[in-house]
């Protein structure tokens, strides 16, 4: 067995500060790139209502206590880098790298704020970084999209330092109400690859990662992407947002959450 790593408590006002900065960056991006196609629509969905914005902050709350000044971090599959932007609001003295399949410059405003060293990926799983380079890797809504899951996890293990931290958030839950509703309605918003908590834990253990903490997040949908419900659904989403955090800790109720999360440690022996 492995002892848990130390965590540094983060004051509530710093989470609020991170939320405000991320929201401002999203709105500025939309204003500057109003006709930039799918990417603008994606960012617009982030700030479509308070619940949608809050779900990113909630995921950040889960792992932020594990990040310390002086760390070198990889934002894997970063896209517009919400995690990097919120991390930068808390830590000036960290080095952040980011990678994704999108073109360099597509999310320049976000990447510039985060001080992100961005690389466009050319391979479906190989990463352009040296062995043992990073103290932490953050994958927010990424693992379920990779073509070769095991090889991608092997690469993350390679680039992490011994006892480095791997953060996985927005991992789609097999029992999710929203996922199953998408399937019933044949909507494209659903994911091809879904996970249960126990199955995902075993995938990570087989890949050399020991869970520090794991569980469910976002019980209620945000009604922000692909749904045109107007003020009524936005108010309903806000009510759900306020119930999310307490219900994430309630057995059975939390089992239908949209997402799973894991904070894991890279090890050489079990």
| CA–CA gap between residue 228 and residue 205 (Å, rounded) | 41
Query: What's the pLDDT band for 185 if we cut at 50, 70, 90?
Result: low
* pTM of the shown model: 0.93
Phi then psi for 104, rounded to 5 degrees?
-65, 135
Assess if residue 50 is contained within a domain.
yes
Residue 4: inside a domain: no
CATH label of the domain that carries residue 234: 3.40.50.150
Is the pLDDT at 227 greater than 60? The verdict is no
Whether residue 77 contacts residue 141, with contact meaning beta carbons closer than 8 Å, is answered with yes
Structural domain includes residue 58: yes
Q: Is 154 within a domain?
A: yes
Any idea which of 82-86, 184-188, 204-208, 250-254 has the lowest mean pLDDT?
184-188
Residue 148's pLDDT band (boundaries 50, 70, 90)?
very high
| Bigger pLDDT: 234 vs 198 | 198
Checking if the pLDDT of 239 tops 80, the result is yes
In this predicted structure, what is the pLDDT of residue 263?
Answer: 97
Q: What per-residue confidence (pLDDT) applies to 108?
A: 92
Rounded percentage of the chain residues whose pLDDT exceeds 90: 71
238 part of a folded domain: yes
Residue 1 lies in a domain: no
Residues 6+ apart with CB under 8 A from 144: 171, 172, 191, 192, 193, 194, 195
Model pLDDT for residues 12-31, shown as the tens digit of each residue: 999 999 999 999 999 999 99
Task: Identify whether 5 is part of a domain.
Answer: no
Mean pLDDT of the region 1-10? 80
* Short-list 154, 159, 162, 168, CA closest to 200: 168
Domain of 245? Answer: 12-266
Q: Give domain status of residue 16, yes or no.
A: yes
Question: Cβ distance 125 to 57 under 8 Å?
Answer: no
Structurally, how many domains does the chain consist of? Answer: 1
Nearest CA to 48 out of 241, 257, 244, 261 is that of 241
* pLDDT value at residue 178: 79
């Amino acid at each position: 067995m492995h002892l848990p790593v130390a965590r540094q408590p983060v004051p509530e006002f710093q989470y609020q500060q991170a939320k405000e900065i991320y929201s401002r960056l999203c709105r500025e991006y939309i204003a500057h790139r109003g006709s930039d196609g799918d990417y603008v629509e994606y960012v617009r969905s982030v700030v479509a209502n308070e619940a949608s914005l809050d779900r990113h902050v909630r995921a950040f709350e889960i792992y932020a206590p594990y990040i310390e000044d002086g760390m070198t971090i990889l934002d894997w599959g970063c896209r517009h880098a919400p995690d990097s932007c919120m991390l930068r609001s808390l830590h000036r003295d960290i080095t952040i790298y980011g990678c994704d399949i999108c073109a360099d410059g597509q999310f320049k405003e976000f990447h510039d704020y985060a001080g992100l060293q961005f690389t466009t990926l050319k391979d479906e799983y190989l990463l352009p970084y040296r062995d043992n380079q990073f103290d932490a890797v953050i994958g927010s809504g990424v693992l379920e999209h990779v073509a070769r899951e095991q090889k991608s996890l092997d690469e993350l293990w390679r680039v992490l330092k011994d006892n480095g931290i791997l953060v996985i958030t927005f991992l789609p839950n097999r029992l999710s109400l929203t996922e199953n509703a998408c399937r019933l309605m044949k909507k494209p918003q659903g994911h091809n690859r879904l996970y249960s908590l126990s199955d995902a834990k075993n995938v990570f253990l087989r890949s050399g990662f020991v869970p520090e903490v794991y569980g469910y997040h976002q019980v209620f949908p945000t009604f922000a992407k692909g749904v045109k419900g107007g003020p009524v659904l936005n108010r309903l989403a806000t009510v759900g947002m306020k119930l999310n955090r307490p219900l994430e800790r309630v057995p059975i109720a939390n089992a239908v959450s949209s997402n799973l999360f894991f904070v894991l440690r890279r090890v050489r022996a079990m």
